[in-house]
């Protein structure tokens, strides 16, 4: 158990809908990362937050947004869902130390999103 | 061309075999190289990491990095059925902590 929790475990919804995925980082971690894992694209970095502020952005669609709250939990909002958004969404956390130093990321169990 | 290339497999070996998993990359700014193991329906977990070029050994696992060739490897000795999983290489460097992952290699160790 990494100490990172994600809810819900599974989510089934329809095209055009909006969903919210939730992540609680490990105790003491300030940084949260969101990843999307699909069969054809592998694990893709979406976005990073550090202590409430956006730190880095990856291949995140405009229909997706995220935020990190004062208690450091994070939410990933996916809107106008399409069939191709079906994937596993992982959250990871770490201390978020400055770049140039190794910084292991601890992954949660993921949320499996199915868009019908 | 992807920044990190990894053979997706699947790779099937008998118990006790030596397994070699590899990734190539194109970005010379990468400094930290990691191997994650992901069991089915679970999140990735860090197995090994190395900084810059060289070897690192941990039990049955050895990670190698050759920055001149932009090539990294993970060797598993005396493979066990419990090693059956997807192995993902990952790397980062430069201005952010963003990890770039390979697509993963599915390994099956047959008892």
Predicted confidence band of residue A96 (pLDDT cuts 50, 70, 90)? confident
| pLDDT tens string A46-76 | 999 999 999 989 989 999 999 999 999 999 9
Q: What is the pLDDT of residue B51?
A: 84
Residue that is written with structure tokens 């980062």 in the block: B92
Put simply, the answer to whether A48 touches B97 (Cβ < 8 Å) is: yes
Q: What is the pLDDT of residue B70?
A: 94
Predicted confidence band of residue A101 (pLDDT cuts 50, 70, 90)? low
Give dist(CA B88, CA B81) in Å, integer.
18
For residue B61, count other CB atoms closer than 10 A to its CB: 17
All residues of chain A having their beta carbon less than 8 Å from the beta carbon of residue B54 are none
Work out how many CB contacts closer than 8 A connect A with B: 62
All residues of chain A having their beta carbon less than 8 Å from the beta carbon of residue B96 are 48, 55-56, 99
Q: What is the pLDDT of residue A77?
A: 98
Mean pLDDT of A10-16: 97
Of the candidate ranges A70-74, A112-116, B13-17, B53-57, the one whose mean pLDDT is the lowest: B53-57
Rounded to 10 degrees, the C-alpha dihedral B91/B97/B103/B107 comes to 60
Q: What is the pLDDT of residue A98?
A: 60
Can you tell me whether residue A83 is helix, strand or coil?
A: helix
Rounded to the nearest integer, the mean pLDDT of chain A is 92
Residue that is written with structure tokens 């596993």 in the block: A88
Q: What is the pLDDT of residue A33?
A: 95
Task: Report the candidate in A89, A72, A91 with the shortest Cα–Cα distance to residue A10.
Answer: A89
Say if A51 is an interface residue toward chain B (CB within 8 Å).
no
| pLDDT tens string B59-100 | 999 999 999 999 999 999 999 999 999 999 999 876 667 889
Q: What is the pLDDT of residue B34?
A: 92
CA angle centred on A94, ends A91 and A98, rounded to 5°: 125
Say if A27 is an interface residue toward chain B (CB within 8 Å).
no
Predicted confidence band of residue B8 (pLDDT cuts 50, 70, 90)? confident
Can you tell me whether residue A48 is helix, strand or coil?
A: strand
Mean pLDDT of B51-63: 91
Say if B96 is an interface residue toward chain A (CB within 8 Å).
yes
Count of alpha carbons within 13 angstroms of residue B1, beta-carbon side: 7
Share of residues in chain B with pLDDT > 70 (%): 96
DSSP state of A84: G
Rounded to 10 degrees, the C-alpha dihedral A27/B39/A37/B50 comes to 70
Closest CB to A110: pick one of B43, B97, B100.
B43
């Amino acid at each position: 158990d990494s100490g990172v929790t994600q809810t819900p475990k599974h989510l089934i919804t329809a095209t055009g809908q909006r969903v919210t995925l939730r992540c609680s980082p490990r105790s003491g971690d300030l940084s949260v990362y969101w990843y999307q894992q699909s069969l054809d694209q592998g694990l893709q970095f979406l976005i990073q937050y550090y202590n409430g502020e956006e730190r880095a952005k990856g291949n995140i669609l405009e229909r997706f947004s995220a935020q990190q709250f004062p208690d450091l939990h994070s939410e990933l909002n996916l809107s106008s869902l399409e069939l191709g958004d079906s994937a596993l969404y992982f959250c990871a956390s770490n201390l978020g130390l400055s770049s140039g130093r190794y910084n292991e990321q601890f992954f949660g169990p993921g949320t499996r999103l199915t868009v019908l | 061309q992807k920044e990190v290339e990894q053979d997706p497999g699947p790779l099937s070996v008998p118990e006790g075999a030596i397994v070699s998993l590899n990734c190539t990359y194109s970005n010379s700014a990468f400094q930290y190289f990691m191997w994650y193991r992901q069991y089915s329906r679970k999140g990735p977990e860090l197995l090994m990491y190395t900084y810059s070029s060289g070897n690192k050994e941990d039990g049955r696992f050895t990670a190698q990095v050759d920055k001149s060739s932009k090539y990294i490897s993970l060797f598993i000795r005396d493979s066990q059925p419990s090693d059956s999983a997807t192995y993902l290489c990952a790397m980062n460097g430069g201005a952010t902590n963003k990890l770039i992952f390979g697509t993963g290699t599915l390994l099956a160790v047959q008892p």
